[in-house]
Each structure stands twice: as structure tokens, then as C-alpha cells.
Amino acid sequence: MTEIDLEKERIEILNAFKGLLRATKDRTRENTKLIRKAFDVAVDAHKDVRRKSGEPYIYHPIAVARICAEEIGLGTTSVVCALLHDTVEDTHITLQDIEDLFGEKPRRIIDGLTKIPEVFDENASIQAENFRKMILTISDDIRVVLIKLADRLHNMRTLGSMAPEKRLKIASETKFLYAPLAHRLGLYSIKSELEDLAFKHTEPEVYQQIENNLKSTQDVRNRFIRRFVHPIREALLHEGYIFDIKARTKSISSIWRKMQTKGVPFEEVYDLFAIRVIVDTPVELEKPDCWRIYSLVTDFYQPSPDRLRDWISTPRANGYESLHTTVMSPQGKWVEVQIRSKRMDEIAEKGLAAHYKYKEEKGEDSKFDRWLVEIRELMENPDLSAMDFVNEFKMNLFSEEIYVFTPKGDLRVLPHDATILDFAYDIHTEIGSKCIGAKVNNKLVPLSYQLHNGDQVEIITSAKQKPVDEWLKFVTSARAKQKIKTALFEEKKIISFDGKEILQRKLRQFNIKYTPENIAVLEKYFAYASAQDLYFRVAKGKVDLAKIREIENHNGNLSLEKKGSNVPKDKHELDVYPKINKQEDVLIIGEDFKNIQYRLAKCCNPIPGDEVFGFITINEGIKIHRNNCANAEHLMSKMAYRLVKTKWKKQELTAHLASIRLIGIDNVGIVNKITEIISNQHNVDMKSIFFEANDGIFEGRIKVLVYDKEHLEQLTNNFELIEGVKRVERWDSQDEEAIQ
């Protein structure tokens, strides 16, 4: 065992703390004393604790505090809370101690942080409830969420010391919830890093490949950027601007997304980087100066008219302002140019902290404040389950936005794909509930009509109108969905009250007591989730009340012993969960696993050599998915409690189904060459083949039986050698199997 040099560690901890002090902005002597006090308390509280990596635990709160100060731009109170954020949960320090030492505000922030567990392990509803608690703090103190994001960022940076299954789970959770949240709060660099770190652990091979490609092309890219920027720099100096020009390489995860959505390899992703021009100019000159610089850039390079984005005139909901254009370089490559002021750049980099710093100068509420109001409204619905809340919140986090106008010319910002109903509820709840249609640009349209940028909308209402279930299919925004659900719930309560009276009369007629126990039996017998559902169906005439006679009747009470009435609905759950110890058990594919049925998922068709995990379904045993399956992020982040560690058995060769997609130039005889490789060179059994050609480009989909991942890679490598084949990739038939 390596001996620990405590004196060396002490010096390193002090140096880390000095680095934190240097990173903290606007430090007074009093603030420095407060930070030092928090540091001393944290060092003492965590003195005997080490992280999984073996380093002293205190490095973590120091690192989180530094992210808060340096990368988010938060002040002294946040730095103090970041240093102390784990003390109440993990050490002898209490909330009262925090208040006595540092005051009421740090106590409230640390209390908010303590309510949010670092890793959600329990089950889907508890995990969702924890996230809901964190978002509730937005309406209390936004710093809780910002410090939590800093905490998550440092944990992602040091994720390598965790067990593989924990890494996958935390990475999936980060990608699913925390990266979008950072985006909404305007923290673009943190959002990109969280996505990249999550991608690094969920798709390590692809991540490494793209990282290597970026490194190998870096010198060529730098030479190109220097030549591209030179005339712009000279023109700006000639005009007397104070400015800075930066080149920003796209994040690895965004490059991969581009490769997937465009269906192109790395070499064909044209916008690997963006040029950013940052001008130092007074607020009143920002807009004209940015447009003048745009004019200078387009004097040298031809712009694409379809790729101009003006987020200066209409900033995004999270406060982001910038002018984006894509221009053609002399080398025939498209280049994105972003033009913004120093103030805009600080808001883009530091997000919320900078937003509030400048908000007071402008003296106005922003769209971001309006978003906070919407989130509070979402939380005020007591009937929204925690899981529904997470889904609604995620949906509303960061869809693209459109800009539409009222008849008087007021601008409203709505999610992409918003409909007439979304717009109506955005104006006012009453207008939404009474909406029967609208005029868009003076043309009559129905409730389901999808709005577009620049539309002018006039809502038509009727006093007789009221929300119906079908409306939920027509809306995109969380606000509209929540308002419709609330109205439907109130309507259902009124109808259910009538149904309750009908049922009471019928029970009296059959000489049966109206008791909670008897209602519970009826719920089970008619298979409804709650008494209210039962009453509602009775009122609607959907329940055959004559069947009550079929239930055994003893002394005026319904029997709970009726055959089939007390059989659990989810017998599978009672069978499977108690048999599995998730900490120790490993499912070996090819061997018996506690007499529990398992099979390979059709959505991703895993083969030996793939990294895999098991997922306990509701009624089909355990399904084995690849770690990079399209469904994996959803399963790992929202239903981690149903995952089982899984490995391949080292066994005799067994063939497994795999699907391959080929794309290339439609040359004569190319199909023959492909089938020859399958049948002759690799002795592979082909299950199906499909080829389609269009305008000289062919796409082929082949299903083959292979022994393992290595066998499949040998086959795909040979396909890539065929002249005319441009891309070969594994193809998942993701629509073939829904998640159970």
C-alpha cells in the first residue's frame, strides 16, 4: 500500500484554496475572511474522508467552488455554500451550525442542496421527485441549481474512478437532465462539456475516434483559420474597433450529432469550428456595430441567406444574444461567424450570473424571468405526478423557439411546433380555455394549426367552449398542457361526484354498505386505478353495475375473497425483483439466471463483444440492450432501479443476428461484390438483403448472422474496401420494439 505524504497533501490543498481565492471576483477583505472561514470548516469536517480516486475529499468542494466563481461568475455567498455543500449531509455539521456561523441565506441554499441526492438510485418516482425538488429551488434561490450544476460538472470530470455501471448511469442522467438544464440557464460551455463527458462514457470508442480526428486535423484547421481571419482583422483595425477574434471548435458530442442527423462521416462535417468576433462597444451602439461588422465580413466572403440568425433583435429565452451567419471561404468551405458585443459574450459564457448583472442596467424583465414564472406555474399543479413533471419540464427545457405577433404587434416567444392553442394559453388561461380557432395572417385556421416564425395571430373565442382530452394532442408547451390538464381534472371531479351518487344509490338497491373497503373491492373488480376513476366511468355509463351482483355478498359486505380479485396486477414484479441482488448479481448471457427469463432486445440486437446491460421489463422477463442502444439513455436515467449487470459468457461460437447499412455510388455489379463477400469470404449466413438506388446513390440494408462484434467488424471492414461504398455502419431497427 502506498504511503500517503500528509504534509505534501496539506500544501497541495492550500495551493488549491489559493487558486480559488484568485478566481473569486470582487473580493473584499471581509469576503476573503468569510471564504477562509468556510474553507476551514469544510477541511475539518471532511478531514478523514477520501474520494473513490483516493484523493482527500476536500479537493471536491474546492473544485466546485472554483467552477462557481470562475466558470459561472458567482459571488462570495455561492463560493461559501459550494465549499460547505456536502458538510450537512455527510458530516457532523448541522444546518443550525451553518446558520450560526454564516447566516440565514447560506443555510437556506445548503438546505436546498442537501435535499438533492448526488446519484438517484431508488426508483423512477423517487428519482423524479428529487429532480422536482431541485427545480423547486429555482423559485426560491437560483444559486442552488447553479451550485448543483457545478457539483455535477466536477463529478463528471472525475467520473473515471467510478465503477462502469455507475459511470453509465450518471452519464445518462447528466445527458438527459443536467446538460439541457445548463443550456436553459445560458451556461453554454458547461452544457457542451457535460454533453461531451457524458458521451465519453456512453460511447467511448466513438468519442476517442472523433477526438483523434480533431487532433490529427488541428494544424490544417489552424492554418485555415489564420488565413480566413486575416482580412477581417485588418478591416476591423482600419475601422478603429476594439475587438477580439476567437475560433471555437465544436464539441465532440455536437459533431457526432451532426454526423448522425446529416448521415455523413467526420470528413464531411463542414462546420467543425466557428469564428467569433467580440466587439467592445457601449450598449447603445451594440446593435449597429454588430451589423456593421457583419457588413465587413460579407465584403470578403459570400454569406448563405438561409443561415442568418439574428438573436440581437430577438434574444433567446435564456438571454442569449448574438448575430450568426455562415459564409463561403475561398477554399470552398462554409464557415460560421458569430458577431457579438463583450456584454453579450459574457452572458453567453456565464449565463444567469451575467444576465442578472446586466438586467439591472437595462431595467427590464427578460424572457428568462418569464420562463421562471412558467416553471412556477408548472409546479403549482398539485395533481401533476413527479414523473409527469420531469417529462413536461424536459420537453419545455430547450425546444427551439419561434416568434409570433398579437394583432397589436406584441411579440410572443413560443416553442417550435407550437399551435394556436399554445398561443392562446400563452396570452391568458381564460382565452386558451375558450378558444375555438384563430386567424393567422387574416386566414381562418383550426386549433391544431402549427405556427411559424413571423405569424400574426388573432384568437377567436366562445363562451360555450371548454377544454377536452383531445386538446392535449394539439399543444407543445408545458404551460398549455398543465392548464388543460388542470381544467380536465376539475371537470372530471364534477362528473365523478355525480357518478359517486349513482353508485351509492345502486349499492343501497343491492343492500350493500357504502364503505371504503367495498369501494376498494369494486376498483379491483372493474380494474380502475382509483375511486375517482370508478365514479367517473359510472357517470359516463361505462360500468355495468349489474355485475356487482356477481361478487359474493356476505352480511351486506362485499367479499374480498372473490376469485381473481386479489391477484396482483404485476405478478412479474413480485416474482423478479426479490430474487435479484443488484449490488452483487451479474447476468451471464448463455447461463441460467435464477430461473428468470431473459432475451436479447430487438431494438439494438446485441452480439457478443458489445457492452450490454439487462433491463427488467413489466411482463417479459429481462431484456438485454447494448450500452449505446437508442433507448439506453432513457432507461438508465429514468429507470435505473430496473437495470441488471450483464456480461457475455465465454462460450462456443453461436451466431447472432446483426444489421448493416451501406451507402455509396450505384455502380454496376456492386450488389454482386457485396453478396460475394458475405457468402464466400466470411462464410456468413445472410438472413435478408434490401437495396434501393436513387439518383445514382444506393442504400443497402443487410441482416446477417455473426459470431461476435469482432466477426461483424471484419465483415464491415471488407465492405468498406469495395469501390463505390462510401459508408458502412451498424443499423439498429429501433422501431421494432417498444420499451416495456
Contact of 195 with 253, CB cutoff 8 Å? yes
Q: What is the pLDDT of residue 363?
A: 42
What mean pLDDT is reported for the chain? 80
- The domain total for the chain is 6
How much of the chain is helix, strand and coil, in % rounded to 5?
Answer: 50, 15, 30
Q: Is residue 90 among the annotated active site residues?
A: yes
* 162 and 69 inside one domain: yes
* 286 and 426 inside one domain: no
* 114 and 42 inside one domain: yes
* 194 and 79 inside one domain: yes
Residue ending a domain, among 595, 621, 648, is: 648
Asked if pLDDT for residue 730 goes beyond 90, the answer is: no
**Which range among 24-28, 219-223, 264-268, 398-402 has the greatest average pLDDT?**
219-223
The residue among 383 and 246 whose pLDDT is bigger is: 246
Which 3-state string (H, E, C) describes 550-567? Answer: HCCEECCEECCCCCCCCC
Beta strands in 627-713 (DSSP E): 643-648, 656-665, 685-694, 697-706
Q: How far is CA 183 from the centre of its chain?
A: 10
Does residue 405 sit within a domain?
Answer: yes
Question: Binning pLDDT at 50, 70 and 90, where does residue 360 land?
Answer: very low
CA-based nearest residue to 19, from 50, 46, 59, 55: 59
Task: Report how far residue 614's alpha carbon sits from residue 598's, in angstroms, rounded to the nearest whole number.
Answer: 8
Catalytic position from the list 89, 417, 573, 729? 89
Q: What is the pLDDT of residue 364?
A: 44
How does DSSP classify residue 3?
P
* 83 and 193 inside one domain: yes
* 533 and 626 inside one domain: no
Does residue 319 sit within a domain?
Answer: yes
Q: What is the pTM of this model?
A: 0.65
CATH of the domain at 179: 1.10.3210.10
Q: What is the pLDDT of residue 122?
A: 43
* 449 and 504 inside one domain: no
Does residue 492 sit within a domain?
Answer: no
* 378 and 423 inside one domain: yes
Does residue 1 sit within a domain?
Answer: no
Question: Binning pLDDT at 50, 70 and 90, where does residue 554 land?
Answer: very low
* 407 and 509 inside one domain: no
Does residue 438 sit within a domain?
Answer: yes
Asked if pLDDT for residue 340 goes beyond 90, the answer is: yes
How large is the average pLDDT for residues 687-716? 83
Q: How far is CA 739 from the centre of its chain?
A: 18
Does residue 456 sit within a domain?
Answer: yes
* 285 and 352 inside one domain: yes
Give the Cβ contact number of residue 301 at 10 Å.
18
Contact of 475 with 448, CB cutoff 8 Å? no
110-126 pLDDT, tens digit per residue, is 887 776 554 444 444 45
Asked if pLDDT for residue 558 goes beyond 70, the answer is: no
Lowest mean pLDDT among 127-131, 406-410, 437-441, 459-463: 127-131
Give the Cβ contact number of residue 120 at 10 Å.
22
Lowest mean pLDDT among 339-348, 426-435, 587-596: 587-596
Angle at 501 (CA atoms; ends 499, 507), nearest 5 degrees: 100
CATH of the domain at 233: 3.30.460.10
16-47 pLDDT, tens digit per residue, is 888 888 888 777 888 888 989 988 988 888 88
Q: Is residue 267 among the annotated active site residues?
A: no
Q: Give the structural domain span for 342.
A: 211-362
* 53 and 117 inside one domain: yes
Catalytic position from the list 5, 40, 44, 90? 90
Does residue 538 sit within a domain?
Answer: yes
728-732 own/partner pairs: CB under 8 Å, 24+ apart? 728/660, 728/661, 728/662, 729/660, 729/661, 730/658, 730/659, 730/660, 730/661, 731/659, 731/660, 731/661, 731/701, 732/603, 732/604, 732/605, 732/629, 732/630, 732/659
- Beta-carbon contacts of 644 under 8 Å, excluding residues fewer than 6 positions away, are 580, 582, 585, 587, 613, 614, 615, 616, 622
* 678 and 664 inside one domain: yes
CATH of the domain at 459: 3.10.20.30
Q: What is the pLDDT of residue 275?
A: 92
Residue ending a domain, among 187, 204, 221, is: 204
Residue ending a domain, among 485, 507, 536, is: 485
Does residue 406 sit within a domain?
Answer: yes
